[in-house]
């Protein structure tokens, strides 16, 4: 399916809208409800730490550069910068030398693949403490710093092209992908020289792109790079937080102004389109979901009421795009569709970008529902794109997936519907984004507010913060989301008092055993002295949840459960790294559609101990027992976490009889 794009006639497609002038408006910045902690302040423990180590040593996350070596041999930030004066390297996509992709300015693609993977790998190394991975990450950081020009330029274009673009390009997108990674390294390792390198690179980009004759989005033949460029906002917001310098926030606002002033290819989040309440999201899902946080930041940086209304309108449109697993749909384009468990697939890039935008919304606005959406998105849709052994993932798939055979739900051939660690025959984008998902989640598990420390996203971790000059260590022991009990220990180097807030997840029963005061879905506890210990039980109960299509899905807390379909894997292609291949997946036996009886069948939760040596997605420590109808006959069924299966039925309609 393809969206009804605007005509390709430049005279109709690229004419600017009425100029959007904000120069006379007064800014009234709105501070975030929660303050983010520097990356590295939150360390994973338990199964989260084991998962990161498994990703490095068993999964595709640790070997992406060896799986697609030609892409990573492209030194496009240094000696292979794009220029019309020489040939450029392989881009790693199936359409890299066709049509407009033959233009050298289009060949920014490897910056996305490399930058996003290094971002995920680097953060995984920092959080896991793996010495070999840390050495590898540090060598990459040094190579990027050495590629920086004297004027601060850090990017993929030679002087004959940089900031002279009249067509599609990835100028600022390339800087965004490596800038995010470098800022994580600078914070975790407290390396000011790395921070200063990103500041110099960003200042260079701002100075060059703010020339009067240069417009960021008014170009011919725009493709994905032009509107990915808007994601330099991620770097700008981080620099604003780290330095307090308003020039970074002002430029982020200017980028969104230009984007809204000149609608282009992936423009669903332009103000003119958001104002049309009858116009659903159409364009590329990853762009739509990443642009959500650009709009959010523009509103919070300006305080403009019309941007607040635009944010509300964006959330209203987003609602119809959310799958039962918490991901955002897209074929890669959304095409104006509404989420359906079987017929509207999701792209891994869309899932990751949605997770990151929802996380920003949680910190900016404080609404606990965003925390539930982040957890649901990662633990179901995000891990659900991966194979349980973590050696591959699907580029596209639906919540209910009967087979993976390079075909869309309607039978249309599409090679994105398979398991692969790279998907180089399509584009090497989803695997690198998947590598980022868990480290980004861990980095956002806690924050600060005016009263103390806040636990925002749940799982085993250790949080190190400073409150009124006193170092504080907060340790969380839990198997969440596979268990619903948290053991929290707070240790302060000196006696100090503050509030500890704990987000109460959806489906929790506060009456079960939660102490303290509940305020707006946050449990508020008072910490005093040098050591405090707390045990919380969320008291989850298994429930049937209604989906948009009228079917139901089973959930326990923020985990969605599905009926696994026993599958066989047929190898399609071996990769350079032993043990990694592309696969189709087929049911061993013809799958029987399971249905619910006229009344909701009982769900019974069962658990087993979670061993750190085991993979919770391959050997789930929690499951549900229920009775469903198979061809009209009552059948005992064990439902497992959706992400613990390759093929599965995740939605259940009522029996027709």
Alpha-carbon torsion (85, 91, 93, 94), positive or negative: positive
**Residues of the chain whose pLDDT is less than 50?**
1-17, 95
Token digits of residue 33: 């409800």
C-beta separation of 80 from 74 below 8 A: yes
Task: Give backbone dihedrals phi and psi of 289, rounded to 5 degrees, phi first.
Answer: -75, -30
Say what the alpha-carbon torsion angle 581, 49, 33, 302 is, to the nearest 10 degrees: -40
Q: How far is CA 123 from CA 44, 64, 381, 551, in A?
A: 12, 15, 21, 39
Output the DSSP codes for 350-390: HHHHHHHHHHHHHHHH--HHHHHHHHHIIIIIIHHHB-TTS
The answer to whether 276 and 41 have CB atoms below 8 angstroms apart is: no
Alpha carbon distance 155, 149 (integer Å): 9
Tokens 């997946």 -> residue: 585
pLDDT at 24: 86
For residues 542 and 532, give the distance between their C-alpha atoms in angstroms, rounded to a whole number. Answer: 31
* Overall pTM surpassing 0.85 (yes/no): yes
Residue 206 CA, distance from chain mean position: 26
Greatest extent of the chain over all pairs of C-alpha atoms, in Å = 74
**Exposure string over 584-609, b if 16+ CB within 10 A, otherwise e:** bbbeeeebbebbbeeeebebebeeee
CB 228 within 8 A of CB 112: yes
Handedness of CA 446, 448, 451, 452 (dihedral sign): positive
Q: Calculate the alpha carbon distances from 104 to 61, 100, 169, 430 in Å.
A: 29, 9, 9, 23
Contact 379, 362 (CB under 8 A): no
Given a contact cutoff of 8 angstroms between Cβ atoms, the answer to whether 331 and 1 are in contact is yes
DSSP code of residue 230: G
- Residue 100 Rama label (left phi>0; alpha psi -120 to 50; beta): alpha
Residue among 506, 508, 520, 253 at smallest CA distance from 380: 506
Name the one residue in this structure whose structure tokens are 């669903």.
268
In this predicted structure, what is the pLDDT of residue 4? 38
- Report the distance separating Cα 503 and Cα 545, nearest Å: 21
What does the alpha-carbon distance between residue 645 and residue 449 come to, in Å, rounded to a whole number? 39
Question: Which pLDDT score, from 0 to 100, does residue 2 have?
Answer: 40
200: three-class secondary structure by DSSP: helix
As given in the structure block, the two tokens for residue 617 are 């997605």
Question: Distance (Å, rounded) from C-alpha 645 to C-alpha 651?
Answer: 14
Pairing label, strands 531-537, 633-641: unpaired
């Amino acid at each position: 399916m393809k969206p009804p794009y605007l005509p390709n006639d430049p005279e109709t497609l690229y004419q600017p809208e009425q100029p959007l002038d904000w120069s006379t408006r007064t800014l009234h910045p709105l501070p975030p409800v929660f303050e983010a902690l520097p990356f590295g302040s939150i360390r994973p423990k338990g199964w989260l730490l084991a998962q990161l180590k498994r990703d490095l040593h068993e999964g595709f996350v640790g070997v992406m550069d060896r799986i697609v070596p030609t892409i990573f041999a492209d030194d496009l930030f240094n000696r292979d910068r794009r220029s019309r004066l020489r040939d450029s390297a392989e881009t790693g996509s199936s359409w890299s030398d066709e049509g407009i992709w033959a233009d050298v300015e289009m060949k920014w693609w490897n910056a996305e693949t490399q930058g996003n993977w290094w971002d995920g790998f680097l953060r995984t190394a920092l959080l896991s403490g793996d010495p070999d991975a840390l050495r590898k990450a540090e060598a990459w950081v040094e190579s990027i710093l050495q590629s920086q020009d004297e004027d601060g330029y850090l990017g993929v274009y030679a002087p004959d092209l940089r900031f002279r673009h009249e067509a599609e390009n990835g100028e600022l997108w390339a800087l965004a992908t490596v800038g995010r990674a470098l800022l994580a390294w600078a914070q975790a390792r407290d390396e000011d020289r790395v921070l200063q390198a990103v500041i110099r690179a960003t200042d260079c980009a701002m100075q060059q792109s703010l020339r009067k004759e240069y417009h960021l989005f008014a170009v011919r033949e725009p493709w994905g790079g032009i509107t990915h460029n808007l994601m330099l906002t991620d770097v700008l917001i981080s620099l604003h937080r780290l330095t307090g310098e308003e020039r970074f926030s002002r430029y982020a606002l200017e980028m969104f102004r230009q984007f809204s002033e000149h609608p282009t290819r992936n423009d669903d989040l332009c103000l003119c389109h958001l104002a049309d309440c009858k116009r659903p999201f159409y364009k590329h899902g990853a762009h739509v979901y990443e642009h959500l946080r650009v709009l959010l930041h523009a509103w919070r940086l300006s305080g403009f009421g019309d941007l607040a209304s635009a944010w509300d309108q964006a959330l209203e449109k987003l609602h119809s795009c959310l799958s039962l697993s918490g991901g955002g749909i897209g074929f890669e384009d959304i095409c104006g569709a509404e989420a359906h468990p079987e017929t509207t697939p999701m792209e891994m890039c869309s899932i990751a970008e949605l997770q990151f935008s929802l996380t920003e919304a949680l910190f900016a606005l404080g609404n606990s529902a965003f925390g539930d959406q982040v957890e649901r998105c990662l633990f179901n849709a995000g891990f659900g794109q991966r194979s349980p052994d973590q050696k591959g993932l699907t580029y596209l798939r639906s919540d209910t997936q009967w087979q993976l055979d390079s075909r869309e739900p309607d039978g249309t051939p599409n090679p994105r519907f398979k398991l692969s660690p790279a998907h180089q025959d399509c584009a090497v984008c989803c695997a690198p984004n998947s590598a980022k998902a868990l480290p980004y989640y861990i980095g956002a598990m806690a924050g600060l507010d005016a009263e103390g420390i806040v636990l925002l996203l749940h799982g085993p971790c250790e949080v190190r913060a400073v409150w009124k000059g006193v170092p504080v260590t907060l340790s969380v022991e839990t198997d969440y989301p596979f268990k619903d009990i948290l053991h929290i220990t707070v240790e302060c180097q000196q006696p100090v008092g503050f509030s500890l807030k704990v987000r109460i997840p959806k489906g929790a029963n506060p009456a079960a055993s939660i102490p303290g005061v509940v305020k707006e879905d946050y449990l508020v506890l008072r910490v005093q002295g040098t050591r405090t210990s707390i045990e919380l039980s969320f008291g989850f109960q298994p429930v049937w949840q209604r989906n948009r299509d009228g079917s139901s899905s089973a959930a326990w807390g923020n985990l969605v459960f599905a009926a696994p379909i026993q599958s066989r894997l047929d190898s399609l292609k071996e990769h350079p790294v032993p043990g990694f291949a592309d696969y189709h997946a087929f049911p061993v036996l013809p799958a029987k559609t399971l249905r619910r009886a006229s009344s909701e069948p009982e769900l019974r939760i069962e658990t087993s101990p979670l061993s750190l040596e085991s993979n919770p997605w391959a050997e789930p420590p929690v499951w549900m027992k229920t009775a469903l109808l198979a061809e009209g006959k009552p059948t005992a069924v064990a439902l497992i976490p959706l992400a613990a299966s390759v093929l599965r039925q995740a939605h259940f309609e009522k029996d027709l009889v």
